[in-house]
């Protein structure tokens, strides 16, 4: 009897000891791990998807001094399309595929973009992923699956998304992270797109063609949807409007005004050497038409003072000064007659200096001597070079960069010419013919459109888009493979 009681007592003691030890162990584990009754509120959980750099940024926000009432889990992901952001989600960075300025490539596929982002892409081409904040015009932005980020804004890039999950996100987390993660990324409303085009001369054979088709939009119908999509569209028109236009002169039928309106023309350059071919009355009347239609002018006017006026562009938080001059090709005004703005080095120096002092981005357009090696029915690359015209074109254009211009553009070349980066600036030696009747020489049927993209006063990128027309005189975009071949040809002869 006594023995049985002692046994029960021993079992009870063992049970109590085991229970106490078990509870102690359980409580100890909970205390060590911060779970159960010992759970510590306000723990910051960093998901393994975060990079070391992102973890560093977060550690500087969620320091030991920060006490939260609720837990927060922070993770990250990337996407090739901008997702609809939910509460607690931010676009932390935008990575863009870029390559060398002189690379003729324009596009990579999404698989290549993902491998490039993951640093597993192997290629002989110098492709890299560049953060948006480091994008500039000295490296070439590529499309992804033919989606160009500065046209699309929700594709053509790798978007890095940071996610904060907390029951008290609005009360606790957002005040801590908003300044770092709520960034203003570019949109169509904040990026200024500006298309510069080359020679336009709606004249001679085009007058005859207009009489045949009786539709001025016939010539622009293939290119208008593209050019009219820019905030600003420019061309250098060197043919004035007059009723005396014919198939024999460089004068434009007045109906051709509708061709220019169809491409969404905002800026007309008047540095050309043929605007006076039809007489002063036609030149002055054309300027009146531009004023009536709200088209801004640069590089020409009713007199020398008007012709010398810079064009100041102030849109979407970007300030641009356009200067345009005529050098030794005729058609300039030096007094009260209409004509182009004659180039004088002293004037150009003062104009550029004044614009730079205002903090403007400075574009200088030049009507220069022409390369005349066009007399060929086959491909002749002579005029591709920047030294193919009379005078020292390379030295002169570079001189304008040395004076402080950010960009120099040749607008007299009837055949596109090469381009180069030079001392912090960029030079496009010749843009070729946007609209003209020169269909008998292959080189003169092409042109380059410079698509500039400005954001907060900075030139992010200039995309070069070749165009072409044929015997139909209808300008269109050059197809992809031919465009690549042509750009490679121009690049190969850069100074």
Query: How many Cβ atoms sit within 10 Å of the Cβ of residue 142?
Result: 22
- For residues 428 and 394, is the Cβ–Cβ distance under 8 A? no
Q: Is 348 exposed, middle or buried (0-12, 13-18, 19+ CB in 10 A)?
A: buried
- pTM assigned to the model: 0.90
**Could you say which residues of the chain have pLDDT below 70?**
1-41, 120-125
Beta bridge partners of 235: 268
Beta bridge partners of 477: 467
Report the pLDDT value the prediction gives residue 40, as an integer from 0 to 100: 58
- For residues 129 and 97, is the Cβ–Cβ distance under 8 A? yes
CA distance between the termini of the chain:
114
Report the pLDDT value the prediction gives residue 378, as an integer from 0 to 100: 85
Indicate the pairing of strand 232-237 with strand 143-144.
unpaired
With left for phi above 0 and alpha for psi between -120 and 50, is residue 394 left, alpha or beta? alpha
The CA distance from 188 to 409, in Å, is 25
Query: Which strand ranges, in their side-by-side order, compose the sheet holding 311-315?
Result: 311-315, 318-326, 361-367, 407-410, 425-428, 419-422
Report the pLDDT value the prediction gives residue 5, as an integer from 0 to 100: 52
- Contact partners, residue 47, CB within 8 Å, separation at least 6: 73, 74, 75, 76
The CA distance from 116 to 111, in Å, is 8
Report the pLDDT value the prediction gives residue 22, as an integer from 0 to 100: 55
Report the pLDDT value the prediction gives residue 126, as an integer from 0 to 100: 80
- For residues 420 and 426, is the Cβ–Cβ distance under 8 A? yes
Q: Domain extents for the chain? A: 44-181, 191-491
Could you read off the pLDDT of 154-193 as tens digits, one per residue? 999 999 999 999 999 999 999 999 999 999 999 999 999 9
Query: Which strand ranges, in their side-by-side order, compose the sheet holding 339-341?
Result: 300-301, 339-341, 332-333
Report the pLDDT value the prediction gives residue 339, as an integer from 0 to 100: 97
Could you read off the pLDDT of 431-445 as tens digits, one per residue? 999 999 999 999 999
The CA distance from 131 to 126, in Å, is 16
- For residues 314 and 456, is the Cβ–Cβ distance under 8 A? no
For 191-491, CATH gives: 3.60.21.10
C-alpha angle 340/344/346, rounded to 5°? 140
């Amino acid at each position: 009897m006594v023995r049985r009681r002692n046994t029960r007592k021993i079992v009870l003691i063992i049970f109590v000891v085991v229970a106490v030890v078990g509870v102690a162990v359980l409580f100890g584990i909970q205390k060590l791990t911060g779970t159960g009754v010992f759970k510590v509120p306000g723990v910051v959980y960093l998901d393994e998807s975060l990079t070391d750099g992102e973890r560093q940024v977060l550690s500087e926000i969620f320091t030991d001094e920060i006490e939260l009432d609720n837990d927060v889990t922070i993770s990250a992901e990337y996407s090739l399309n901008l997702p609809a952001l939910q509460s607690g989600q931010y676009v932390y960075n935008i990575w863009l595929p870029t390559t060398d300025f002189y690379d003729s490539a324009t596009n990579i596929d999404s698989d290549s973009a993902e491998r490039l982002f993951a640093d597993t892409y192997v290629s002989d081409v110098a492709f890299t992923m560049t953060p948006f904040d480091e994008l500039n015009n000295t490296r070439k932005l590529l499309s992804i699956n033919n989606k160009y980020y500065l046209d699309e804004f929700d594709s053509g890039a790798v978007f890095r998304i940071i996610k904060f999950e907390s029951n008290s996100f609005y009360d606790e987390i957002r005040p801590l992270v908003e300044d770092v993660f709520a960034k203003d990324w570019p949109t169509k409303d904040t990026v200024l797109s500006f298309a510069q085009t080359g020679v336009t001369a709606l004249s001679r054979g085009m007058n005859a063609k207009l009489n045949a088709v009786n539709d001025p939009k016939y010539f622009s119908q293939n290119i208008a949807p593209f050019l009219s999509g820019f905030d600003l569209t420019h061309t250098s028109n060197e043919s004035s409007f007059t009723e005396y236009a014919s198939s024999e002169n460089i004068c434009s039928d007045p109906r051709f005004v509708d061709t220019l309106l169809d491409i969404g023309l905002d800026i007309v350059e008047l540095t050309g050497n043929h605007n006076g071919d039809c007489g002063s009355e036609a030149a002055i009347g054309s300027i009146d038409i531009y004023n009536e239609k709200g088209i801004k002018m640069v590089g020409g006017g009713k007199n020398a003072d008007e012709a010398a006026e810079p064009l100041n562009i102030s849109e979407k938080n970007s300030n641009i000064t356009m200067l345009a001059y005529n050098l030794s090709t005729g058609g300039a005004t030096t007094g009260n007659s209409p004509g182009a703005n004659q180039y004088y080095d002293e004037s150009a120096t003062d104009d550029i200096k004044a614009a730079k002092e205002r903090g403007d981005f400075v574009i200088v357009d030049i009507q220069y001597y022409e390369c005349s090696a066009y007399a060929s029915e086959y491909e002749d690359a002579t005029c591709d070079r920047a030294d193919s015209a009379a005078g020292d074109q390379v030295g002169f254009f570079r001189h304008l960069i040395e004076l402080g211009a950010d960009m120099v553009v040749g607008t007299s070349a009837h055949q596109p010419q090469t381009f180069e980066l030079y001392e912090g600036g960029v030079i496009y030696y010749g843009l070729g013919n946007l609209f003209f009747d020169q269909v008998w020489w292959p080189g003169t049927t092409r042109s380059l459109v410079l698509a500039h993209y400005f954001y907060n006063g900075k030139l992010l990128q200039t995309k070069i888009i070749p165009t072409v027309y044929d015997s139909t005189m209808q300008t269109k975009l050059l197809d992809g493979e031919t465009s690549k071949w042509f750009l490679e040809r121009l690049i190969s002869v850069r100074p």
